[in-house]
Structure 1
Amino acid sequence: MDRNTIKDTGILEQYLLGELSEEQSIEIENILKEDKELREYFSKMEDDMEQMALENAITPPVHIKTAILNEVENPSLIGKEKVIISQARKKVSYNFAIAASLATLFLLSSGWLYNQWKDTEQTVITLQEETNDLRDRLVNLENNYEETDKWYQAINQPEVVQLILKGNEKSPNSSAIAYVNHQNKEVILNPKGLSKLKNDKTYQMWADVDGEMINMGVISANQEMITMKYIENAASLNITIEPVGGNDHPTVEQLISNVYL
Structure 2
Amino acid sequence: MDRNTIKDTGVLEQYLLGELSEKDSREVAQILKEDSELQAYFRKMEDDMEQMAFENAISPPTHIKSNLLNAIKTNEETVIPLQQKKKISYHFAIAASLAALFLCTSGWLYNQWKNTEATIVTLQKETTNLQDRLVTVEDNLKETDKWYRAINNPKVVQLVLKGNEKSPTSSAVAYVNHQNKEVILNPQGLSKLDNSKTYQMWADVDGEMINMGVIAQDQEMITMKYIENAASLNITIEPAGGNDHPTVEQLISNVYL
Q: Same fold (TM over 0.5)?
A: yes
Aligned to 1:17: 58
- 2:137 counterpart of 1:141: yes
Q: How does 1:166-177 map to 2 (within 5 A)?
A: 166-177=162-173
TM superposition shift of 1:95: 3.7
CA 1:100–1:116: 2 relative to 1, 3 Å: same
Aligned to 1:205: 201
Q: Is the 8 A contact 2:201 2:212 kept in 1?
A: yes
1:178 is matched with which residue: 168, 174, 178? 174
C-alpha separation between the residues in 2 aligned to 1:16 and 1:198? Answer: 79
TM superposition shift of 1:15: 11
C-alpha separation between the residues in 1 aligned to 2:218 and 2:212? Answer: 18
Unaligned ranges ≥5, structure 2: 1-54
Question: What SS does structure 2 have at the residue aligned with 1:193?
Answer: coil
Aligned to 2:233: 237
Aligned to 2:4: none
Whichever residue aligns with residue 118 of structure 1, its letter is: K
C-alpha separation between the residues in 1 aligned to 2:128 and 2:65? Answer: 48
CA 1:177–1:65: 2 relative to 1, 3 Å: farther
CA 1:208–1:52: 2 relative to 1, 3 Å: farther
Moved over 3 A (4+): 14-18, 49-55, 59-62, 64-68, 90-96
TM superposition shift of 1:93: 4.8
Aligned to 1:150: 146
Larger radius of gyration: 2
Unaligned ranges ≥5, structure 1: 1-13, 19-45, 69-80
CA 1:125–1:54: 2 relative to 1, 3 Å: farther
RMSD: 3.3
Deviation by residue 1:39-60 (Cα, 9 ceiling, x = unmatched) = xxxxxxx53x9649967x8x75
Deviation by residue 1:62-95 (Cα, 9 ceiling, x = unmatched) = 8x96437xxxxxxxxxxxx9xx59x94x665544
Aligned to 2:121: 125
Task: Report how many aligned residue pairs link the two structures.
Answer: 203
CA 1:106–1:167: 2 relative to 1, 3 Å: same
TM-score (norm. length: structure 2): 0.69
C-alpha separation between the residues in 1 aligned to 2:252 and 2:65? Answer: 91
TM superposition shift of 1:197: 1.1
TM superposition shift of 1:134: 1.6
CA 1:146–1:253: 2 relative to 1, 3 Å: same
Q: Is the 8 A contact 1:52 1:103 kept in 2?
A: no
C-alpha separation between the residues in 2 aligned to 1:204 and 1:163? Answer: 17
Aligned to 1:67: 79
2:213 is matched with which residue: 211, 217, 223? 217
Question: What SS does structure 2 have at the residue aligned with 1:170?
Answer: coil
TM superposition shift of 1:99: 2.0
CA 1:198–1:54: 2 relative to 1, 3 Å: farther
Aligned to 2:251: 255
C-alpha separation between the residues in 1 aligned to 2:237 and 2:254? Answer: 12
Aligned to 2:100: 104
Q: Is the 8 A contact 1:164 1:176 kept in 2?
A: yes
Q: Is the 8 A contact 1:54 1:96 kept in 2?
A: no
TM-score (norm. length: structure 1): 0.68
C-alpha separation between the residues in 1 aligned to 2:184 and 2:104? Answer: 70
Aligned to 1:35: none
TM superposition shift of 1:225: 1.0
Deviation by residue 1:104-126 (Cα, 9 ceiling, x = unmatched) = 11011001111111111112212
Q: Is the 8 A contact 2:174 2:184 kept in 1?
A: yes
% same residue: 72
C-alpha separation between the residues in 2 aligned to 1:120 and 1:52? Answer: 38
Deviation by residue 1:123-151 (Cα, 9 ceiling, x = unmatched) = 22122112211211111111111111111
CA 1:52–1:135: 2 relative to 1, 3 Å: farther
C-alpha separation between the residues in 1 aligned to 2:91 and 2:56? Answer: 18
Q: Is the 8 A contact 1:52 1:99 kept in 2?
A: no
